[in-house]
Structure 1
Amino acid sequence: MAVASLFALPGLAHAEDITVFAAASLTDAMGEVAKAYEKTHGDDHVLLSFASSSTLARQISAGGPAEVYISANEKWMDWLSDQDMIEAGTRSDLLGNSLVLIAPTDSKTGTVTLDKNSDLTALMGKDDRIAIGDPDHVPAGIYGKQALTQLGMWDRTEPRLARADNVRAALALVERGEAPLGIVYGTDAAISKGVKVVATFPTNSHPAITYPVAVMKGMKNPASQRLMDFLKSSTASAIFGDYGFTLPKA
């Protein structure tokens, strides 16, 4: 299981530090949002830890120091809620995303049609695999499984999957040419120069991709609420939008 990386130096913690556990697909966008927040809240410092939503949720359940958690799907936020680990009244839907099929930039694969007549395995060599976050626990992989199932492709595709620890690991497999196809979020494809989007999964093939955010139970740091307010500000929304994230559907 991948271990989340905490971008902070030991010994520098102070009362206004805010520890945020966020889904791997938010790495670039959330890093920029954190910098923008710190510019307007000079006494606060955001400590960011990125990994699969499932990895982070399990770390929080085991006592991980997250004050704010941003998941890439509802499932893992619900899981923490069921354990009474979320501060009442702080949960909301922050962002939305899309699900895409990618190939290496230099691939000869062109635009792919995704419907019930599609067969992704026909686009690969007999020993090739499709990179995807592990559908057993990674949100992007869960959405991918739902889409492939809805389109009638799961049974053919499942034996040919390269299951990655998180969506960025799946992206990296395609970037390095180790997988000829991958299923990732639209925002992941947008930040990579090593892949191209060959198809976007129909929105009706999977549940809406939603990123819920919440403060963890018992976290009394007032800076956590200041950050939560900033995440919903026009400044943060513009940054998230630049990376391809959308506002969640009402």
Structure 2
Amino acid sequence: MDLINTSRLHETNKQFKNKNEATKLHWRTFFNNFGPFTSIIFSMLMYLIFSKNDFNGTPFLRFVGVLFPSLYSSMEYFLLLFDSWRSDHRVLLSLHGVLYLLLNTILFMFSFVTIISTIAFTASKWNDNDDPATFTMAIPSFFVSFAYLLSISCDFSAKSVLSIGMSTNVPIDLLILLIPIIGTILLIEKSRYHFYFFIVPAILIPVRSLKERYFVSGKSSLSVAPWRTMVFVFMLILGVFVYAFLAYGSVEILYQYLCSFNKPPSQLGNE
């Protein structure tokens, strides 16, 4: 009798665990599918509705303008770190384990820089004419696109950690990654077409997610082929470079903001 009760209890616990895992997977899928689109579109609406003077005079508007993209990207990095902590890779003492530790350090750095950048962008005065477009479209578009690509490229349940999928997805992934950078270059060059480049990732990300849902390609046996690994390494190196630049800019903004408290009122009024 005790053996039967123990078996039933074990089966009940297993069913409960499977139900919880299914709920978590459903929530994660919903977050990955709609989080990027919502974050990018909301920031763009802020840019279209409010003027430079509105942002410059209201810190709360600046905060809301960058909040959702920053929140989405930082949550993605924390979720990846949580997944990696639950995986078996952290116990490895080989070169693979060292690379795993390096990847986790990079993910933590990305999340930390995202949070610091949000504070810095809120504290900064958006005096330049291009500042609203930079802070509500260019940077959020990259934040969201890069975090999304990492979330679908890292699979800590696999032995290789890296899982890019079928080759048909890679061109879309490269477009999602590179188009915000091209849009930023056009913004710097004062091109009037920069807006369209920032909205493209908001369209491509749901398209890619729907493609994976309704035209499931599965994981190929070549998911860690050298060229796929090169794509991931290129993406990671580019991300480190961009986030290092953002970290430097954020520290400089915060330093100037803190130094402004020591300036006399007459000097502040002239700025």
TM-score range for the pair, normalised by the shorter chain length: under 0.3
Instruction: Tell me: higher relative CO, structure 1 or 2? Use CA pairs within 8 A at least 6 residues apart.
Output: 1
TM-score by length of 2: 0.23
Q: Which has the higher helix share?
A: 2
Normalising by the residue count of structure 1, what TM-score does the alignment of the two structures yield? Answer: 0.25
User: Larger strand proportion, structure 1 or 2?
Assistant: 1
The structure having more radius of gyration, on CA atoms, is 2
